[in-house]
């Protein structure tokens, strides 16, 4: 059995690792977004494709353009899904 001090140290270490993983994923998503923006700009400059938007995300119009196709996003559904999934997690931890 582990003592209270050992358990608290283990829990802190696990939290640090989880936080580092989330931060790495967040950084990768930021790099991916800026990389795609750079590719979009180069495609426009070189005039390679008819529709140069490989990936474009616009919150004002709630629209995502992926490889020239436009999709409308319903953010209310996403909010409901996140709210219900996180509320279930809060109940489990309490």
Q: Is 30 helix (H, G, I), strand (E, B) or coil?
A: helix
Residue 89 vs residue 12, higher pLDDT: 12
Total residue count of the chain as it appears in this document: 94
Average pLDDT over residues 74-91: 70
Domain-wise residue ranges, the chain? 1-51, 53-94
Percent of the chain scored above 70 by pLDDT? 88
Quote the tokens at residue 92. 């489990």
Taking 80 as the threshold, does the pLDDT of residue 90 lie above it? Answer: no
Contact in structure between 94 and 85 (CB atoms under 8 Å): no
Mean model confidence pLDDT for the chain? 82
User: For position 66, what pLDDT does the model report?
Assistant: 82
Evaluate the CA torsion angle 9, 10, 11, 17 in order and state its sign.
positive
Quote the tokens at residue 8. 């608290």
Note if the pTM is more than 0.85.
Answer: no
Evaluate the CA torsion angle 88, 89, 93, 94 in order and state its sign.
negative
């Amino acid at each position: 059995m582990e003592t209270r001090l050992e358990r608290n140290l283990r829990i802190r270490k696990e939290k640090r690792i989880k936080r580092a993983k989330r931060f790495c994923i967040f950084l990768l998503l930021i790099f991916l977004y800026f990389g795609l923006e750079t590719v979009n700009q180069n495609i426009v400059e070189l005039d390679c494709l008819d529709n140069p938007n490989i990936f474009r995300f616009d919150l004002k119009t709630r629209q995502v353009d992926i490889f020239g196709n436009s999709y409308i996003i319903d953010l209310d559904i996403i909010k409901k899904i996140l709210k219900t999934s996180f509320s279930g997690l809060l109940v489990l931890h309490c």
